[in-house]
Structure 1
Amino acid sequence: MRLIHWLKPGLKIKRWIICGLGGIVLVSIAISNYLNQLNLKLSFFMSVFLGLIGLITVFLSLKSGIVSILEFVYYPVTLTGKTDNGKLDKKIYDKKILARGPRVVVIGGGTGLSVLLRGLKLFTSNITAIVTVADDGGGSGKLREDLGMLPPGDIRNCILALADMEPTMEQLLQYRFKEGDLKGQSFGNLLIASMNDISGNFEEAIQKICDVLAVTGKVLPVTLRNITLYAKLQNGTVVKGESNIPIRSKAEKSPIEKVFIKPKEAETIKDALCAIEDADIVLLGPGSLYTSVVPNLLVKNIKESLNKTTAIKVYITNVMTQPGETDGYTVSSYVKGLLNHWPEGRLDYVIANTGTISDIVSSKYETEGSEVTKLTEYDREILSHMGIQLITADLIDIKKDYVRHDAIQLSKMIIDLVLQYKVASDKSRIIDYFYLRELLKKS
């Protein structure tokens, strides 16, 4: 069986190894015949000695060459998170390394989700992003209102995060018109809207876009129903619309008590449920708690699927609090807010940041009413009491004074978590995880 498996077509390397060995045999015959013509005679000991030296030389040369190739393949990730774009190394890397990666499902929306995806795709190609479609603001909201389609904004960002494209193409898809009726609208949103119009449904449109842009993994809308997000504030006020919720909460100085969607019977798509069922790890967040992460849990069958899966379930708390949504929240506050909408749910891990930001950046966020999410001893005790393991690290990455998660550091923690957990329970995949362990060591 192993021989049959070895003979199956793959990267077309085995055929060249066999051809190379055949060439060595032919050259050896030719040299032997030439030596006979010269009447050069060697003693038995000398023949054996030279033969052994030759074999050792060939072996060491092949070994060193293969190791050099594998090191180049295993280490395409630089400290800046960039990969080499050469066709050969990318083909080998994608097919033999990333394809061995764990099956990761990420549920959420907003900037936090797309940032994480950019890091994850460096370590696995088995990614499924399940994205909220409750957005009703900005360019996405306008297209939703004008064309009656699902909002494309969060999905567009996830597609771009997982796509393999030139920087110019990404700039084009992110370009926003500055004048006219299209002012503020993203070209990427218009592309998705156009594809939606010529496709059977929104899911099919997204799949076609993903194929065109060579997306790593899958990007799925959580539902194909046109849903509206509502929030009930602690003062009893009910707010309609995702974009209005933080504004009203902040204006009335009343925190969010719970959120819900209409229609309540909106169901998730089958591919999303299958992805959760087959996952090695399911990540909730990062992203706005009540307007990006929780709305996905409110769609029918998502929570049930999460309860049934054997995957590791991890919640990633936000680096910064969000004005009008999570003011004053600490790590345990986020977890409670999540589980209040998923009473029967159980988290295995929570990943939280312990890094800090400079006074200059901090003052900028303070003027907006935002601060670094705190992790207190009380939070640690609460999570321990709930049976949730806490993983902490400095996860802050600041670019142009904007605070985000360090995508590569966070992704390495996630992949390493899967390696620790899954190797013990799934011996058949030890080899796959060995490759990933080596990649993590070198990245």
Structure 2
Amino acid sequence: MRKRKIVVIGGGTGIPVILKSLRKENVDLTAIVTVADDGGSSGEIRNAINIAPPGDLRNVLVAMSDMPRFYEKVFQYRFDKDDGALAGHPLGNLIIAGISEMQGSTYDAIQLLSKFLHVEGNVYPSSENALTLQAIFEDGHEVTGESNIADYDGNLRFVYVYNTHDGSMAKASRKVVKAIMEADTIVMGPGSLFTSILPNLVIPEISKAILNTEAQIVYVCNIMTQRGETEHFSDADHVHVLHEHLGRNFVDTVLVNIEDVPHEYMNTHKFDEYLVQVDHDFKGLQAEGCKIISSNFLKLENGGAFHNGDAVAEEILNISERRLS
């Protein structure tokens, strides 16, 4: 039998959790990664040398690599806050930036690094250029830039992206649309709804591909609500926003964690962007036309609530297997 083709779409620290588990399985794995991050090290680098932000791509490369643990620690090493111009920059970001400049393309740099790091699968930036995220709130107020969204006190309603360099329409990277159209299963998330998942989906070529692919589309709903993005959201609200952005229902299956997160466990200083556990709205999800898989997907670690990558991967593999049978 041929390998199941699974495409994972997102960014941030969410999708690496399940990519680490999926890469150990006998699947043809592709990650499509957002390039709209404009904060921290990624923001400084993209402004300095006009490349796609490297941070989310770095985390995905590490998650899909079989590199020894020591090499991973080197690639992920972050310079000390007192190190002048290098302060706060992960070494991997600088490596990606240097190779991007050398190759004349972040896309080409990621393909080269994928071979160098023994990545099992494909890693594609969703666009070959840095993108700017534009957010529109319910009161009509607009905020430019992903890193500025949480600063505005309002309810976020809609986002779109455009090329940072010249303001033109965002275009998908090479092979991204092909990967989506040929996939058996497409997984979105886990990750920030408006700033990690949607910046990929609202690229017009990707939106069209998502709506036309025959793949099973799976959404891994976040465990916690997020400050400035999804405050007071239920799982059904997350899915509704996805459907609203693409103009019709397209999510086939939603994976929902129903294990309680102990309130006293959460380190609210370390994870100050996360608020409360996402409410489970079974009827609301049914109204969105989704199959619902609710289970214990929770992993408590270092004072935070995360997805158990192996448990999520198992469900994704089951969905993919049913798709091929």
The verdict on a shared fold, with TM-score over 0.5 as the criterion, is yes
2:284 to 359, 382, 395: 382
**CA distance in 2 between partners of 1:247 and 1:321 (Å):** 16
Alignment partner, residue 94 of structure 1: none
1:114–1:369 Cα change, 3 Å: closer
Give the equivalent residue in structure 1 for 2:31: 129
Residue of structure 1 aligned with 2:170, choices 262, 266, 270: 266
Residues of 2 paired with 1:369 and 1:125: CA distance? Answer: 32
The answer to whether residue 144 in structure 2 is matched with residue 240 in structure 1 is yes
Do the aligned residues in 2 keep the contact of 1:230 with 1:261 (CA within 8 Å)?
A: yes
User: For residues 369 and 143 of structure 1, what CA distance do their matches in structure 2 show?
Assistant: 27
8 Å Cα contact 1:362-1:371 kept in structure 2: no
C-alpha offsets along residues 18-48 of structure 1, whole Å, 9 cap, x if unaligned? xxxxxxxxxxxxxxxxxxxxxxxxxxxxxxx
AA of the residue aligned to 1:201: S
**1:308 positional shift:** 1.6
Distance 2:174 2:248 in 1: 22
For residues 18-37 of structure 1, the aligned pairs below 5 Å read none
TM-score (norm 2): 0.94
| Number of residue equivalences | 318
Structure 1 157/367 Cα, relative in aligned 2: closer, same or farther at 3 Å? closer
Determine the C-alpha separation between the residues in 2 that align with 1:367 and 1:173: 26
The CA deviation at 1:134 is 0.3
Residue 6 (structure 2) aligns with: 104
Return the alpha-carbon distance in structure 1 between the equivalents of residues 274 and 221 of structure 2. Answer: 18
Q: 158, 181, 192: which one pairs with 2:96?
A: 192
2:309 aligned to which of 407, 413, 432: 407
Q: Is it true that 1:156 corresponds to 2:58 in the alignment? A: yes
- Share of identical aligned residues, percent? 34
Relative to structure 1, is the Cα distance of residues 176 and 362 closer, same or farther in structure 2, using a 3 angstrom cutoff?
A: closer
Alpha-carbon distance between aligned partners in 2 of 1:174 and 1:219, rounded to the nearest angstrom: 17
Q: 2: distance between equivalents of 1:195 and 1:125?
A: 29
User: Structure 2 matches for 1:319-338, cutoff 5 A?
Assistant: 319-338=223-242
> In structure 2, how many angstroms separate the alpha carbons of the residues matched to 1:367 and 1:187?
25
**Closer, same or farther in 2 for the Cα pair 1:372/1:264, shift >3 Å?**
farther
- State yes or no: 1:167 paired with 2:72: no
- Structure 2, unmatched stretches of 5+, are none
- Corresponding position: 1:419 with 2:321: yes
How far apart, in 2, do the equivalents of 1:196 and 1:154 lie? 15
**Aligned equivalents of 1:289 and 1:124: distance in 2?**
29
The CA deviation at 1:266 is 1.4
Distance 2:323 2:85 in 1: 52
Q: Relative to total residues, which structure has the larger helix share, 1 or 2?
A: 1
User: Which residue pairs with 2:41 in the alignment?
Assistant: 139
Question: Is 1:183 paired with 2:87?
Answer: yes
Task: Give the structure 2 partner of residue 373 of structure 1.
Answer: 278
**How far does residue 270 in structure 1 lie from its aligned partner after superposition?**
3.1
2:118 pairs with 203, 211, 214, which one? Answer: 214
The reply to whether residue 114 of structure 1 matches residue 16 of structure 2 is yes
Pair 345,271 (structure 1): closer, same or farther in 2 beyond 3 Å: farther
Contact kept in structure 2, 1:125 and 1:216, CA below 8 Å: no
Which residue does the alignment assign to 1:277?
Answer: 181
What corresponds to 1:79 in structure 2? none
TM-aligned CA deviation for residue 363 of structure 1? 6.8
Partners of 1:363 and 1:400 in 2: CA distance? 8
Deviation at 1:165, TM superposition (A): 0.7
Cα deviation for residue 345 of structure 1 reads 4.3
Instruction: Indicate the SS of the match to 2:73.
Output: helix
CA distance in 1 between counterparts of 2:237 and 2:87 reads: 38
CA distance in 2, matches of 1:367, 1:205: 34
TM-superposed deviation, 1:159: 0.3
In structure 2, the CA distance between the partners of 1:152 and 1:367, relative to structure 1 (3 Å rule), is: closer
Q: Which amino acid aligns with 1:199?
A: Q
Runs of 5+ in structure 1 lacking a partner?
Answer: 1-98, 424-443
Q: How many angstroms apart in 1 are the aligned matches of 2:320 and 2:241? A: 25
The CA deviation at 1:385 is 2.8
Per the alignment, do residues 265 and 166 of structure 1 end up closer, same or farther by CA in structure 2, a change over 3 Å counting? same
- Answer whether contact 2:51 2:129 (CA < 8 A) is retained: no
- Report the equivalent of 2:127: 223
Change (3 A) 1:323 1:422: same
Higher relative contact order (CA 8 A, sep 6+): 2
Secondary structure, aligned partner of 1:270: coil
Distance 1:367 1:307, change over 3 A: closer
Give the distance between the partners of 2:255 and 2:65, measured in 1 at CA: 26
Residue deviations 1:350-375 (CA, integer Å, cap 9, x gap): 11110112232247379656111120
Deviation at residue 119 of structure 1 after TM alignment: 1.1
